[in-house]
Every structure is written in C-alpha cells, then in structure tokens.
Structure 1
Amino acid sequence: MINTYLLCGGPSSEHDISLRSALNISKNLNKDKYKLKIVYVNKKGCFSKAFDFYETDDEFDLVKDCKDNLLESISDFLLDIKDLDKDKLMIIPCIHGTYGEDGTIQGFLDCLDVAYIGNGLLSSSVCMDKVTANDIFEKNKLSQARYLYAKKDSFDDNFIKKCVEYIKFPMIVKPSANGSSVGVNKAENIEDLKEYGKEALKYDEKILVEEAIRGQEVEIAVIGDINPKASRPGAYTTDHVFLDYDAKYFDKSTKEALPYEMDEDDEKRLKDFAIKCYKACDCEGFARVDIFYRDHDFFINEINTFPGFTPSSFFARLCEISFGLNFTEVLDLLIDEGFKRYKKGVLND
C-alpha cells in the first residue's frame, strides 16, 4: 500500500474549488492501492490533523479545525509522516492558486524530500505568474496576445497611454498571479482600464494587460515529462464576455464541447503547440494548457499547473476521451509520474 496524503483548502481565492477537487479525488482514488489520509489547510495556512477518508457528498465536510499556531500545526503533519517509507509515500497537493500552484507548497515538499504529484517549484511559480510565463512564451517565439504589465507604483496615466497605443481596446486586465479568472475583466475604454486595473491590484502586486483575442479558448490536458502526451481539445461556450469564475463553476448557460471539434490538421498542430508551451515552461507530471483558436491560428493564453479536478472540470475528462483512462486510472498515472520525478530528484540521488 502507498501512504497517500491529500492536502486541500489553502489560503487562496480558490479555497472552495480545492475542496471540491479533493472530494472528487478522494472518491476516485483506488483504495486497494493507496491508504488515504486527508489534511485540510485553512485560509491562514494552518494544517489540520490528518484524517481518514470517509464517504460524503459535501466538500465542506473536509473542513476541519486547525491549531492556531501555524508552525505547531505543520509539525503535527511532519510527525505523522516522519516514520513512513518514502518510497511508498505520495503527497497530492490539491491546493489551487496562491500557495498551491505558485511553488510554495512544492518548495516545502522538496525540502521534506517526499514525492508529490505534478509540477515542481520552478514550473509552478513560472506558470502562476502570468507575466513571467508570457515573457518565456515570447522568448520561445510562441504566438500570444500583445501584452504589457505594471506594478502598483507604475500603474499610472503613462502606463495606460502605452496600453492604448500598443494593445488597443478591447483589453483583458488581470492579476499576474491568481487563478480561476478571479479579478479578471474586459476593458472597453480608458475608464474601464483604470477601474479594472485597480481591482486586479487587490489580488496581486502586479497586473497584466493583454490584447483581447477574438477566438475560441480551448483546453488541452498534457501528461508526462520527457515525452509528454496532449489530449484532444475541450471548450466551453458561454454568454459571458469571457470564461470567468462564475461561467466556469456556476452559470447553467455555460455549455461544454468535449471534445471540441476542429479540422484534423488543426487539431494535430494544436496538440504540438500545447506541448511546446508545456516544455517551454519546464512543466512535468501534468498541466492544462489553455489556448485561443482563431482562423486556424493558435495563441497561448496560460498554463494551469494543478487544474481543477471537480466532477465538471475538463482535465480528467479530456484524458478519458483521449487516452481511454477513467479518473481512477488518471490518478494512478499522475502518481506514477510523481514517483518518477522523485526518484530522479537531487535529494534522492
């Protein structure tokens, strides 16, 4: 049996989505192969005591009391795993957004020299910070929207003028490091740009302003390290001006296209493009690559290094229609990839 610890919750704006993902993982993990323990992380970053999986349909049943002392709460987790065989220990850091996808939890787990699924510190932090990711895409000559960025102290009339001249309206205004489209808006004029820039700066110290690509956003699931595989594309259609938080998780009018049908040659080129973007950011294990598709051309939007695993999320479902794997088998594959990564790690040499 592999001792498996599922971390969920966390301090980001995606706390509740993390719980929903974790509940779905816990229900689908093969109990004959994995001895599952769950650790809830509250909005202050404190860890709960590890608890056994039990049947529930309410993700908020995963919310547990945590000690107020942050270091003491984490020490309880360390004591829980300290005597376990590291070759049979796997962490699933199911924490979306800040703390979970920005390299924070990955760096912590690297220091502990334990295996975990998904991307490491570098690729997580690079992809979480959209400005850094955009710079890397540009360096690798990967097609993307025109963009500019500013920190709080440089979001001024001069920056706004540059945006109007270089990007032109409409523009997408977003926090550089946040997830699930929280704090993201479409600016149609200078007043919008000023208002939405201030809103985005509530979520991060740096904002990104991008050209609004008029096209269909498609999602690709990518799995693997040296020779990654890309799934068929999936897409949402929505009445919202773009696929925002409400459209993704709550709006009943949002429709799914799984798979999203396109010209066979375009789909092949799309998969190749997704893998190039994945490799450019040094991703490993798995990720979801979001791409705009317009008139047979592709524009990278972003890479999500720990995509949603809720019942409605696309990642696992794309794997099923593309690779013939059910969710339990997808989790097996991601855990296998996590062990491969661990065994080649510096501390484990």
Structure 2
Amino acid sequence: MPNWLLPENIADVLPSEARKIEDLRRLILDNFRLHGYELVMPPMLEYLESLLAGAGQDTEGMTFKLVDQLSGRTLGVRADMTTQVARIDAHLLNRASLTRLCYAGSVLRTLPQGLHATREPFQIGAEIYGHAGLEADAEIQHLALTSLALAGITQVRLDLCHVGILRAIIAEDATAQKDEMALVKLLEAKDTPGLQVMSADYAPITREALLALPNLYGDITVLDRARQVLPALPAIASALDQLQALAEAAGPECVTIDLADLRGYHYESGAIFGAYVPGLPNALVRGGRYDHVGEAFGRSRPATGFSMDLRELARLMPGAQRKLAIRAPWSTEAGLKEKLQECIVALRKAGEIVIQNLPGHENDQDEFNCDRAVVLENGHWVIKNLD
C-alpha cells in the first residue's frame, strides 16, 4: 500500500479549501463574540466514561477508543463536542448566571455520518446554559441562520420538531413506553406499516396518535392539523405552541414542520431543529434543547444550542478567489538588502501580502495572484504594476 494513502473518508485539506474553512471559522466565531458568546477549547482526548457520560452515550458507536500509556485507562477521541462543553459549564465554570459558550475544532468519528461525508468534521457551535424560556431557543435558532447567511447561504429550510410530543403520547401507555426507542426509529423512517404492526396492542388513542405523526409534515399549517388529530394533552398543546412561536420567529415562509423527525431524541428535551440547504441531502445544522445534558456531571440546568460542520459548509461555497499579492526579489547586496527589508516590513504592516522569491526559484501558488512587484529603480525600491 502506498505510504501516501489515507484511510477511507479521511482527506487532506488543500490550500484554497483550507482558506475557505479558516475564513468561515473566523467570521462565525467573531459573530458569536458579537452576541456575547465565550470561546472554549475542550481537549481532543478524554477518559471514555467522561466523554460518553449523559448525552455522550449517543456517540459511543462513533467514538475511537485507545489505551492511555500513562494511566492504563481507556481514552476516547471526541466524536462530538456538546458533552465536553456541558462538562465545562457544569464542573469548571459552575456559574449561577446564564452562560453563553461557543467552540470550534476537529472531531473524529469511526463512521461517516452521511453520503460522501468526512470522518473528521470541523465542528463549530454555540450553546446557552441557564435559561429555560423559549427566548434562548429563538436566539440559538437565529444565530444558526445568521451563521449560514455569513457564508452566503440564503436558501435555508428550517425543519422544526419537538420531542415532548412523542413522550406525551406514550406517557400513559406502558406497552408503548417499552418500545420507545424502536418507535423513534420507525418514526424517523416514516415507516407507517412498521408502526401499524408495532402498535397493534397499544391503547387506541396511543395508536392513532402514533400513526398520525408521519403525516404531520409540511408548512406551518401542520400545527393546526396536529391540534385536531393529536390527543388534547397539556404537554402536546405546550409543545405545539412552542413550535408555533419558533416558526414565527424564524419566518413561516422558510419553516417546515416535521413531527416525526426525531433525530437526537435520546438526549433532546424540547424543541429541535435542522437546517437544510440546496445541494446537501442531510441537515447542515442540527440544534435544539437538551436540559439534562449536564446531569451526568452533577449539575442539571437548562441548555440549548446548535452545531455544524465547517468542512461541509465550505464545500457549498464557490471557489475562493486568489488574493492579490506583491512579489519581491531576494537581495544580498549591502545597502540595498536593508532598504528592501524595510520596504517589505512596511508593506506587510499595511496589510499587503508580500511574497519574497528565494534565489533561483519562482513561486507556483494557488492562493495568491501577484499583480505588483517590488523593483529596484534608480537606487530605490518601488512598487510596479505587473501586466
């Protein structure tokens, strides 16, 4: 096997793509900061039991495991940063006040999470801890949409759901509760025949509600239909009201309601959303409320947030234009060398890109377009436009 070959779904990021990702990272993190979010940097490795605590159980099958040569304990390479940030909020910061945190970094997964997806996403996200009201959900939803807008993505469909609806439907049916995880999978797949078979022994009201969920999909008017066909339970009414408010906050024209889209059901506790864009079959952004995420670290408090993969987002953007730059020669002649370096330093301080040719070499670069050059004219270094 050639020694330059990389594992499947692992790839190098070349200059033009790397610049798009880095520009996006800076742009989005700066926007987070303008909204009052504080940056944290969790470690790439943790003890496995910490990494998989609470909501992290969902990522066990995606987590690479290895043995720590210092302690002999099993370590995990992070497959998601949400649990890590929850640990920081609950254990290290331990603030009584509302806390806004953001993060950006690579994660590693044992399997790709979609068609042609990388196993090393560059995850960026933001989370709010300490506020149970819908205002936090609306802020996170708005922040996700503005992050996409900063990348030039304007055609976004926001898909809304609420995990409280299914939990309310099966709350009074012990048989259905035993099948909870299987029901989630059937609903995600919109497998109506499978639901019919599984719910055959459920209470009639439970069965009818479960069979209605896969068809409660469409624009905001779906919420009115849901109120008519789902049981008149306080928890369901509250969940539908929350979805109505979030849809109106985002703008009903770009919102889809899908009451069977329960991805993340295991650790979510309220309204959840996914942002879909043209050119990608899967959600580019995933977010929602997960109030119990810090419970495993001894401190459960309200939490909501979102994350996305910058590498996937960068692929949707047009190719980066080459940056204009200045070409400079290499000089060793006494007197001229010092003046050349002064000229180059001044240009770089002014924000110009100056590429100095090394002796005997020309530069071959994808990232820069040298439209000017530093040349010697009458004993002085001057800038000349290149044809």
Q: Shorter chain as normaliser: what TM range? A: under 0.3
TM superposition score normalised by structure 1 = 0.27
TM superposition score normalised by structure 2 = 0.25
Larger radius of gyration: 2
